[in-house]
Amino acid sequence: MALEGASSYVAPSNLTEPSESLPIFDVQRVQLQFPIAADFVAAQVANNVLVLALSTGRILRIDLDTPEDIDDIDLPKKSSETGLIRRMFLDPSASHLIINTTLGENYYLHTQSRQPKALSRLKGVSIESIAWNPSLPTASTREILLGTTDGNVYETYIEPSTEFYRREEKYATAVYKVPEASPVIGICASPVPARPEQRRVLVATYGKLIHFLGRVGATKQGREGGGSIYTEIFQRETPVIQDGSNPSASAPSGLTVSSSSGGHQPEGSTDMEFAWLSAQGIYHGQLSSEAPFDHASLLPRSKYPASQSARGGRKMIQDPISSMTLSQWHVLALVEGRVVAVNRLSEEVVYDQAVLEPKQSALGLLTDLTQSTYWLFTGQEIFEVVANDEDRDVWKVLLREKKFDEALQYAHSQAQRDAILTASGDYLAAGGNFLEAAKVWGKSSKGFEEVCLTMVDNKEYDALRKYLLSQLSTYKKASVMQRIMVASWLVELFMSKLNSLDDNIATKAELTEGATTGEIKDQLGSVRAEFQDFVTKHKADLDKKTVYDIISSHGREEELLFFATVTNDHNYVLSYWIQREKWSEALNVLQRQSEPDIFYKYSSVLMTHAATELTDILMRQTNLEPERLIPALLNYNKTASVSLNQNQAVRYLNFIIVNHPNPSAAVHNTLISIHASSGSASEAGLLTYLQSQSSSPPPYDADFALRLCIQHKRVQSCIHIYSAMGQYLQAVELALEHNDIELAAIVADRPEGNKKLRKKLWLLVAEKKIRQPGTGIKDAMEFLRRCELLRIEDLIPFFPDFVVIDDFKDEICTALEHYSRDIDALRQEMDNSAQTARQIRSEIAGLDSRYAIVEPGEKCWICSLPLLSRQFFVFPCQHAFHSDCLGKEVLEGAGGKKKYIRDLQGQLSIGDVAPSRREEIVKELDGLVAEACILCGDHAIKQIDKPFITASDTTDEWAL
């Protein structure tokens, strides 16, 4: 049961971020705040679990994560029967505890149990050391090795059991006996990396360290715990033995191992560190596979300084090492109450601190392998040895040993890294390995000028190139000038190297190392690829003009073009190929561009030498202004001796006209100009184009097109343009001038809405047709029947005087019959007109006797007052209005007559108007006012937008 009273584990107060000002180790007392009535006789710590054996025979099990819960465990029998607790062994997972007493009794306690069980198979065996199973089991111990005081090694398998008659240990077999029956003070077993079927076993006595390496046996019948697995190793394998001189059973001795080596492993070694305490000192190192102790060394006792009490006399007496353990980088030893730490790499004492009082004994130094904590136990106290930044000086030790790569792994600051890199570069350069030195120096702060001069003095230009590449990556973006200068220097070095390799290939020379031409070619390709990678990555750091000058001075065409391409200097690339008349290469560059200015700039020369290919490229561009390509097209048309069907300017312009959403007039005019100035006599292409542009107005400049067609005597095209402009007379005259009567007749029919013009045009055609030599009268008359406007009398003046009338007798008869019908129609129209005139006169005479009946109660249609109250007007539609109401209404909608009506009204208001004049004014005013009924005539139509309800009306009158 748990002890009464509070208990706690006080963690070290200084476990903060480690600092150089702190010592590497610090020993701190752990305060256990509960009463303990007896001394500690044994202690173990693993996986943050502390197990203490008291002199009273009790066992305390404390979980340091929850120190207030303490398991207080008693052995099954009294100490008088079993003896005092001699040793305890706790596995690294803190799952299994084996207890050995002074009378040879052995007990087993599982972490989930509070009752130790006696190990009957091991009764009488005095256990000195245990090699736990490497797999760190929790349910059972699996196969473990026990070292005893009589020099025997046992193998056993312990599994907790709740059955009363079942033993805890499945078997206990003696597998080995050390020479001379010396006590086995330490034993360990571990797997071999990359060879899981093998194990290594390390057995330590006072005077020997024995190493076994071999394959473990299979479990019997495939069952765990079925039998020994280590027997084969001890029986078949020959051990490697490390003898210690002058062994002493009285001197403290022990073996400790650690599976963590801190990452510093010599080549061929495993990750298993060991330390063996013997009479001579501490033998420590790493176990390798073939020669396990080749990487081990001895820390003699003289390495550890004597205490102050031992320094008083002339003869210094060396203090004994009573206990030791391993940390990540140090050997911790307890020397006469002092904790001394020695660096395992440099074997220098880095910590020496007195902890115990004089003559105070200690149970030993222990390591918690899972938590990497270190503990010191005495009979009454517990101390924790806290590591503060333990690997802080590892880089210095490795640097002194010239293990630069390993030193870099343990450098904590940039200053440390810089010191390592600088020393590493100096070491490599001193050995003549300038290439590797350059890479290292490039990452260090070693002076730029110093490094460069060293490389130049030794003519190590390849190394200089590597260094500059490394150095360039260290400059900040703001260091523009430095980056440009270094990058430009690199370009110079690259070009020199490439030229040197080309010269070697050209002369079939060999390098001083004896490289063949093939190897030089491979190197050339590698350097070129390196240059291309450099340009691609650092193009922002390269000044174009400087780089062009450098590369051009070395005559490196491929590199020059690559740089221009990477930096998107397409103008330079195009100009380069065009200057060398490499048209296909220039077109390959152009087709990958989309910048319009590049096309405008180089279209003239490329159109002259590679018209078809350039046109293909131009037709794929959607962001070009065709007008800016017209000079190139005209220049090409001027020099090209090809037909219109093969003319690439015509092809491109036709493409633009068909596909461009709104080509300008300049494009159309250019196409017309090319067609008109063509050496071909055929006008088919030009006419086809003109006929396709039927919009009004046409998209081209008609005057310009007409001038061109007249200049180049494109008659049919001129006629078409005249027609498109509405100049039919000029078109017909031009057609007749060139004796193209059929075309003239077609044009003459075009002004369909203007019969007068059409007849005029046909008369011109008729005159030409009739007077054309070799044309018969009948043929002429048959041709002229196509126009229904022509009459025989219009044509007679065009016939010669000696023409016989019989040739067009039928036409004359037809014309006379037509005239006779026209005369009859006119006579009928005259009769109808006379009848209409008689009816009008009769109606006028009837107006004198027309009247209207007005009822006594009839009202004015405007003011709704009785009509007979004052002067009024009555209309044939029976609408009646007061004269003043009608006058007012008419005046409002009179429009342009309003002023005239007001003038007449003003004249009537003047009293001295002559009666005859007054009568005329009244008559004229009545005619204007009573011209038509305002409800039936135009006045009513004009008032259609007038609202029914005005502002002066009341809404009640219109309410529903």
Is a pLDDT exceeding 90 seen at residue 177? Answer: yes
**Model pLDDT, residue 178:** 92
Query: What crossing angle do the helices spanning 715-725 and 741-748 adopt, rounded to 10°?
Result: 10
Helix (H, G, I), strand (E, B) or coil at 437: helix
Spatial strand order of the sheet with 195-204 comes to: 186-192, 195-204, 208-215, 240-243
Question: Cβ neighbours of residue 789 under 8 Å, at least 6 residues apart?
Answer: 755, 758, 759, 762
Beta bridge partners of 187: 203
Higher-pLDDT residue of 352 and 892 is: 352
**Model pLDDT, residue 783:** 61
The mean per-residue pLDDT over the stretch 423-431 comes to 78
**Model pLDDT, residue 155:** 94
Q: Are 912 and 901 in contact (CB under 8 A)?
A: no
Tokens of 280: 């001579």
Is a pLDDT exceeding 70 seen at residue 515? Answer: no
Residue among 870, 899, 908, 900 nearest 886 (CA)? 870
Distance, in Å, from the CA atom of 152 to the CA atom of 181, rounded to the nearest integer, reads 7
Is a pLDDT exceeding 60 seen at residue 324? Answer: yes
Cut 0.85: pTM above it: no
**Model pLDDT, residue 2:** 34
Q: How many residues does the chain have?
A: 960
Higher-pLDDT residue of 173 and 926 is: 173
pLDDT band at residue 332 using 50, 70 and 90 as cut-offs: very high
Question: Cβ neighbours of residue 51 under 8 Å, at least 6 residues apart?
Answer: 43, 44, 45, 59, 60, 61, 62, 88, 90, 97
Distance, in Å, from the CA atom of 229 to the CA atom of 221, rounded to the nearest integer, reads 12
**Model pLDDT, residue 10:** 36
241-268 residue pLDDT tens: 998 877 777 778 899 998 644 444 444 3
When mean pLDDT is compared over 100-109, 292-301, 548-557, the highest value belongs to 100-109
> Alpha carbon 763 to chain centroid distance?
80
Is a pLDDT exceeding 70 seen at residue 359? Answer: yes
Across the chain, mean pLDDT equals 79
Distance, in Å, from the CA atom of 188 to the CA atom of 211, rounded to the nearest integer, reads 10
839-849 residue pLDDT tens: 888 877 776 67
Is a pLDDT exceeding 70 seen at residue 338? Answer: yes
- pLDDT above 70 as % of the chain: 84
Beta bridge partners of 296: 285
- Tell me which of 93-107, 200-214, 730-744, 945-959 is least confident: 945-959
Helix, strand, coil tally for the chain in percent (to 5): 45, 20, 40
Distance, in Å, from the CA atom of 325 to the CA atom of 277, rounded to the nearest integer, reads 9
Higher-pLDDT residue of 440 and 872 is: 872
**Model pLDDT, residue 8:** 34
**Model pLDDT, residue 468:** 79
Is a pLDDT exceeding 50 seen at residue 672? Answer: yes
Distance, in Å, from the CA atom of 871 to the CA atom of 782, rounded to the nearest integer, reads 76
**Model pLDDT, residue 582:** 82
- Tell me which of 688-697, 852-861, 904-913, 927-936 is least confident: 904-913
**Model pLDDT, residue 511:** 47
Is a pLDDT exceeding 80 seen at residue 756? Answer: no
Find the Cα–Cα–Cα–Cα dihedral 512, 514, 516, 520, rounded to 10°: -40
Query: What crossing angle do the helices spanning 583-590 and 611-619 adopt, rounded to 10°?
Result: 0
Question: Cβ neighbours of residue 500 under 8 Å, at least 6 residues apart?
Answer: none
- Tell me which of 306-310, 326-330, 527-531 is least confident: 306-310
Q: Are 127 and 147 in contact (CB under 8 A)?
A: yes
The mean per-residue pLDDT over the stretch 426-444 comes to 75
**Model pLDDT, residue 97:** 94
Number of helices (H) and strands (E), helices first, in the chain?
Answer: 32, 30
Question: How far lies 352's CA from each of 21, 560, 927, in Å?
Answer: 16, 68, 142
Helix (H, G, I), strand (E, B) or coil at 512: coil
Q: Are 589 and 573 in contact (CB under 8 A)?
A: yes
> Alpha carbon 390 to chain centroid distance?
43
Residue among 124, 132, 125 nearest 44 (CA)? 132
Beta bridge partners of 60: 52, 72
SS3 assignment for 538-602: HHHHCCHHHHHHHHHHCCCHHHHHHHHHHCCCHHHHHHHHHHCCCHHHHHHHHCCCCCHHHHHHH
- The alpha carbons of the chain give a radius of gyration, in whole angstroms, of 62
Is a pLDDT exceeding 60 seen at residue 805? Answer: no
**Model pLDDT, residue 549:** 86
Long-range contacts of 246-250 (CB under 8 A, 24+ apart): 246/279, 246/280, 247/182, 247/205, 247/206, 247/207, 247/208, 247/278, 247/279, 248/206, 248/279, 249/182, 249/183, 249/206
**Model pLDDT, residue 881:** 87
- Tell me which of 10-19, 291-300, 869-878, 945-954 is least confident: 10-19
Question: How far lies 587's CA from each of 160, 255, 552, 610, in Å?
Answer: 87, 81, 23, 9
CA angle 612, 613, 616 (to 5 degrees): 90
Q: Which amino acid is at 184?
A: V
When mean pLDDT is compared over 124-128, 505-509, 551-555, the highest value belongs to 124-128
Helix residue ranges per DSSP H, 189-284? 231-236
Question: Cβ neighbours of residue 273 under 8 Å, at least 6 residues apart?
Answer: 257, 258, 259, 260, 261, 284, 285, 286, 326, 344
Q: Are 569 and 577 in contact (CB under 8 A)?
A: no
Residue among 117, 108, 188 nearest 146 (CA)? 188
Peptide bond into 697 cis (omega under 30): yes
DSSP state of 669: H
Answer left, alpha or beta for residue 612, where phi above 0 means left and psi between -120 and 50 means alpha: alpha
Higher-pLDDT residue of 440 and 381 is: 381
645-665 residue pLDDT tens: 888 888 888 888 888 878 888
Distance, in Å, from the CA atom of 617 to the CA atom of 629, rounded to the nearest integer, reads 13
Burial of 874 (0-12, 13-18, 19+ CB in 10 A): middle
**Model pLDDT, residue 318:** 56
SS3 assignment for 841-902: HHHHHHHCCCCCCCCCCCECCCCCCEHHHCCEEECCCCCEEEHHHHHHHHHHCCHHHHHHHH
The mean per-residue pLDDT over the stretch 731-753 comes to 71
562-599 residue pLDDT tens: 887 788 777 777 778 788 888 888 888 888 787 888 88
**Model pLDDT, residue 734:** 75
Q: Which amino acid is at 188?
A: C
Query: What crossing angle do the helices spanning 596-609 and 570-579 adopt, rounded to 10°?
Result: 10
CA angle 569, 572, 575 (to 5 degrees): 145
pLDDT band at residue 110 using 50, 70 and 90 as cut-offs: very high
Question: How far lies 108's CA from each of 160, 185, 230, in Å?
Answer: 9, 20, 22
Helix (H, G, I), strand (E, B) or coil at 605: helix
Q: Which amino acid is at 520?
A: I
**Model pLDDT, residue 11:** 34
Q: Are 206 and 255 in contact (CB under 8 A)?
A: no
Q: Are 403 and 37 in contact (CB under 8 A)?
A: no
pLDDT band at residue 788 using 50, 70 and 90 as cut-offs: low
SS3 assignment for 769-802: HHHCCCCCHHHHHHHHCCCCCCCHHHHHHHCCCC
Residue among 259, 218, 249, 215 nearest 233 (CA)? 215
When mean pLDDT is compared over 342-346, 412-416, 512-516, 935-939, the highest value belongs to 342-346
Question: Cβ neighbours of residue 259 under 8 Å, at least 6 residues apart?
Answer: 190, 271, 272, 273, 369
The mean per-residue pLDDT over the stretch 926-936 comes to 81
Higher-pLDDT residue of 909 and 620 is: 620
Tokens of 561: 């073009």
**Model pLDDT, residue 307:** 67
Residue among 281, 331, 338, 333 nearest 309 (CA)? 338
Kindly write down the DSSP assignment for every residue of 487-508, as one continuous string. HHHHHHHHHHHHHHHHHHHHTT
> Would you tell me how many other CB atoms lie within 10 Å of the CB of residue 668?
22
Long-range contacts of 429-433 (CB under 8 A, 24+ apart): 429/454
- pLDDT above 90 as % of the chain: 15
**Model pLDDT, residue 775:** 58
Higher-pLDDT residue of 778 and 197 is: 197
Higher-pLDDT residue of 272 and 771 is: 272
**Model pLDDT, residue 165:** 57
Q: Which residue has the tokens 């542009």?
A: 693
**Model pLDDT, residue 127:** 95
Distance, in Å, from the CA atom of 322 to the CA atom of 335, rounded to the nearest integer, reads 6
For strand 117-118 and strand 127-131, is the pairing parallel, antiparallel, or unpaired? Answer: unpaired
